[in-house]
């Protein structure tokens, strides 16, 4: 395959009508997907707010239970990303029945992931808490919400598989709608079970976990019912048992392995940075938590853009249209860079106000403000790298993004964070500089890889 610009960003040389068409399609897909990702994060935030207003002690139990399951959640989303890519490719190849096969494989795979994670966390999670170094009271208190959250994982993974499939078809609005209905249900159950209302006992953190369980079960049932009732469900092979296709099965899992490993490396690396902050002082932990919370919320937008860009890239890849593939990819990169720039320009002047919304401690506010201002430096590369990584996976380049994330975050960021934050005595400033360096390294390597593949087309 050869594009018209020998690998250069093809937007400038493309017909304006094609660019406008692709941009409109990108934004049409990205809007609901971004809203879905924000809804996913809002669910956990709602639990934390309601539990925290009820009891600070119970919030600690909630945070510990959520921390153990969050690694599983991020990894599971990555492992199931092959559903979206393979469904998009099938549409591009004009093989609708293969899209249904991708869904059925994804649901089986998702069920195995969810059930396995649930069993492991229920059996090993409480023991890990007891030997992790936290207080015995915290370990005991976190065990019930941890077990309930673990029970919600099979429903979560099935909903991710089904929702990713709809996004891969270019139909993200139902996923967004069900996600926000699930958020409303989550809040309703929270306000009843956490403080104890309507004659029910107060469950605290366990009540928050029960709310998440209810919301995830609803999300799964609603999404699967919607898929079953789609007018073209039979045309898409939803109800057909597909013939074994080991090549596509392996490719779907391979994409998931790459994305899951990338997600795990990033989550583990950022958790390590939290430990580095904790080894400096409690104040640094508090300030870093504020920065990480704000950055994570901002990150939901490029995460949604990565899914939308990946859908369009996979569709063009399946249709063997290299010029379109490169055009939609570079459009996605450009839009994402603008989003990162807009976020930086919004956070920079509001850093002090944002910090005040988290804490009233003068020293913590000052440190968090400085951290937020410095963090604006990596918002653009951090946003771009996740979109480029997903675009590479969508065009069947899986290993390089995984190795890039391993090198940038595990090999570079964590040791650099220790060296600057602890050894050089820079505290949170050193930690943020390490994240900035890793983000630029990851974005640069991934963009270089995509550029090389584009020239090779």
pLDDT at 6 over 50: no
pLDDT confidence bin for 3, thresholds 50/70/90: very low
Percent of the chain clearing pLDDT 90 (strictly above): 39
What are the DSSP E strand ranges found in 347-453? Answer: none
Q: What is the mean pLDDT of residues 360-366?
A: 80
Task: Give the model confidence (pLDDT) of 134-193 as tens digits.
Answer: 667 777 888 898 999 999 999 999 999 999 999 888 898 999 999 999 999 999 999 999
- pLDDT number for residue 48: 77
The mean pLDDT of 103-132, rounded to a whole number, is 88
User: What are the CA-CA distances from residue 46 to residues 212, 425, 433 (Å)?
Assistant: 10, 36, 31
- Provide the token pair at 247: 């090549």
Residue 252 is predicted with a pLDDT of: 86
pLDDT at 13: 55
DSSP 407: I
pLDDT computed for residue 149 by the predictor: 92
Q: What is the pLDDT of residues 231-255, one digit of tens each?
A: 988 888 888 887 777 888 888 888 8
Task: Quote the pTM value.
Answer: 0.79
Cα separation, 145 vs 170, whole angstroms:
36
As a whole number of angstroms, the distance between CA 390 and CA 443 comes to: 12
Q: Which two tokens stand for residue 196?
A: 């104890």
Query: In angstroms, rounded to a whole number, what is the distance separating the alpha carbons of residues 173 and 218?
Result: 17
Nearest alpha-carbon partner for 286 in 272, 297, 274, 299: 274
Mean pLDDT score, 300-311: 88
* φ and ψ at residue 375, rounded to 5 degrees: -65, -25
8 Å CB contact between 385 and 443: yes
Coil/strand/helix, residue 164 = helix
> What tens digit of pLDDT does each residue of 383-408 get?
999 999 999 998 888 889 999 999 99
Structure tokens at 219: 């999300």
Comparing CA positions, the residue from 294, 348, 337 lying closest to residue 443 is 337
CA–CA gap between residue 280 and residue 300 (Å, rounded)? 29
Contacts with 14 (C-beta within 8 Å, 6 or more apart), sequence order: 4, 323, 327
Backbone dihedral angles phi then psi of residue 133, each to the nearest 5 degrees: 105, -10
Task: Read off φ and ψ for residue 427, nearest 5 degrees.
Answer: 65, -135
């Amino acid at each position: 395959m050869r594009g018209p610009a020998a690998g250069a960003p093809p937007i400038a040389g493309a017909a304006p009508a094609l660019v406008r068409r692709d941009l409109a399609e990108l934004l049409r897909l990205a809007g609901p997907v971004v809203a879905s990702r924000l809804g996913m994060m809002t669910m956990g935030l709602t639990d934390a707010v309601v539990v925290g207003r009820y009891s600070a002690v119970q919030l600690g139990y909630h945070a510990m239970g959520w921390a153990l399951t969050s690694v599983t959640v991020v990894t599971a989303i990555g492992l199931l990303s092959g559903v979206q890519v393979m469904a998009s490719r099938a549409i591009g190849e004009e093989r609708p029945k293969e899209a249904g096969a991708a869904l059925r494989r994804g649901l089986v795979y998702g069920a195995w992931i969810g059930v396995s994670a649930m069993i492991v966390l229920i059996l090993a999670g409480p023991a890990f808490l007891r030997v992790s170094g936290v207080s015995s009271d915290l370990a005991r208190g976190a065990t019930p919400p941890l077990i309930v959250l673990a029970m919600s994982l099979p429903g979560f993974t099935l909903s991710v598989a089904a929702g990713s499939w709809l996004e891969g078809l270019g139909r993200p609005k139902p996923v967004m709608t069900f996600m926000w209905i699930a958020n409303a249900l989550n809040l309703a159950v929270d306000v009843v079970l956490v403080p104890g209302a309507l004659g029910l006992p107060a469950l605290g953190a366990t009540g928050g976990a029960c709310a998440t369980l209810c919301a995830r079960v609803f999300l799964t049932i609603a999404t699967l019912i919607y898929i079953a009732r789609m007018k073209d469900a039979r045309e898409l092979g939803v109800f057909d048992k597909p013939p074994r296709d080991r090549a596509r099965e392996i490719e779907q899992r391979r994409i998931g392995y790459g994305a899951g490993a990338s997600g795990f490396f990033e989550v583990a690396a950022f958790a390590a940075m939290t430990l580095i902050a904790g080894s400096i002082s409690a104040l640094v932990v508090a300030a870093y938590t504020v920065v990480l919370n704000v950055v994570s919320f901002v990150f939901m937008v490029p995460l949604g853009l990565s899914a939308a860009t990946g859908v369009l890239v996979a569709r063009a890849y399946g249709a063997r249209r290299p010029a379109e593939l490169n055009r939609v990819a570079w459009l996605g990169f450009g839009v994402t860079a603008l989003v990162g720039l807009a976020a930086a320009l919004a956070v920079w002047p509001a850093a002090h106000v944002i910090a005040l919304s988290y804490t009233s401690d003068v020293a913590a506010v000052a440190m968090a403000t400085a951290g937020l201002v410095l963090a604006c430096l990596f918002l653009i590369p951090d946003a771009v790298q996740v979109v480029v990584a997903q675009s590479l996976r969508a065009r069947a380049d899986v290993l390089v993004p995984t190795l890039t994330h391993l090198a940038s975050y595990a090999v570079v960021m964590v040791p650099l964070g220790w060296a600057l934050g602890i050894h050089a005595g820079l505290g949170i400033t050193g930690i943020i500089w390490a994240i900035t360096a890793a983000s630029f390294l990851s974005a640069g390597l991934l963009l270089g890889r995509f550029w090389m593949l584009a020239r090779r087309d």
